[in-house]
Structure 1
Amino acid sequence: MATNMHSDPNILLSPLSLLDVPLMLEIEQQAHTHPWSRQLLASNFGGLYRNLGLWRGQQLLGYIILRVVAGEAELINIAVAPPLQGQGLGKRLMLAMFELAQEQQWQQVLLEVRESNLKAQQLYRQLGFSEIDRRKGYYPCQQNGREDALIMQCICSE
């Protein structure tokens, strides 16, 4: 049940399964300073989760993990393979999330982002997210020990 992505006909979007965790882990370890473990990735599948991957053939390019409860979604994790970052793949994943939001009538999407991750914040703001709160010292980081998480929200339907 793969669907064709907007500009590149060789890149397909499809739901992820537990069988994809090893490929997800490879991207996770490259893309994040404090990557999730294989067990944590695997624990984010099942009833409440909507996990999508972008594929070129058998190569996973990026993924998004969403948890949906009572019409509200939380973007739990998003990652694009570092050599492919800056090519709009993260935006493609986010747009696919908004298509799901429309289909499934979610009221809002919430996410947390590192205060230092300015590129991600810029993308999120472009797509209609705004900062609604902050968690002090939420994320571990290499320089100062901890950094704040910005909590951002996008209202999908009123």
Structure 2
Amino acid sequence: MSTADVAEVLAIEKTAYSHPWTHGNFIDSIAAGYLAEVLVVDGELVGYFVAMVGVEELHLLNITVAPRLQRRGLGRLLLAAVQAHGRHLALETLWLEVRAGNHRARALYRDCGMAEIGLRRSYYPAVGGREDAVVMRMALNRAPGAAQGAGDAD
């Protein structure tokens, strides 16, 4: 993702979420050197992710597919790219938060090997108040599909 992509990214963001990231959130992420990639299909930007590298870990901050193209495997493709970056960088763990009510995303993450390990109460802004976030993680040093639970040591 480059600053030239932000207008298209923001257009998707605004159609996907009730409380989207701002232009500044994306610009700041790029300026900070976060992993930020776009997915282009047939010349059209259709998805993206932003992830922050930490000490031995990768924190997925945003992963989005244009709503009209969801349920076609593109989210899975983006998540696989995030995981591949983490493994390439020899990071131990991938972390993310997801809205408790986003059952489709939670199912996708579980199908891709992530485990639900905690809850951040009132983490996200929501219509009429706040919404909890489910904290998920996966060990990146394991073979894909290897079982893991909340009690696994890294």
TM-score scaled to structure 1, two decimals? 0.85
* 2:68 is the alignment partner of 1:83: yes
Separation (CA, whole Å) in 2 of partners of 1:43 and 1:118 = 29
For residue 44 of structure 1, give the secondary structure of its aligned residue in structure 2: helix
- The answer to whether the 8 A contact 1:138-1:148 is kept is yes
Aligned mate of 1:149, from 133, 142, 152: 133
Deviations 1:94-131 (A, max 9, x none): 01111112211110010000000000000111111111
Matches within 5 A, 1:68-79: 68-79=53-64
Which structure 2 segments of 5+ residues have no match? 142-153
Aligned length: 142
Structure 1, unaligned runs of 5 or more: 1-15
* Range moving further from structure 2, 50-59 or 93-102: 50-59
> Greater share of strand residues, 1 or 2?
1
1:39-97 deviation per Cα after TM superposition (whole angstroms, max 9, x unaligned): 11111114541111110243110001010012210000011111101111000000111
Q: Give the match for residue 25 of structure 1.
A: 10
Q: Which SS does the other structure have where 1:43 is aligned?
A: helix
**1:131 lines up with 2:120 in the alignment:** no
Misfit runs of 4+, over 3 Å: none
Task: Call closer, same or farther: CA 1:50–1:123 in 2, change over 3 Å.
Answer: same
**SS of structure 2 residue aligned to 1:52:** strand
Measured in 2, the distance between the counterparts of 1:149 and 1:119 equals 14
Give the alignment's Cα RMSD to 1 decimal. 1.3
Residue type matched to 2:109 in 1? Y
Amino acid paired to 1:147: E
Match of 2:45 among 46, 51, 60: 60
3-state SS of 1:25 partner: helix
- Secondary structure of residue in 1 paired with 2:83: helix
Does residue 103 in structure 1 map to residue 104 in structure 2?
Answer: no
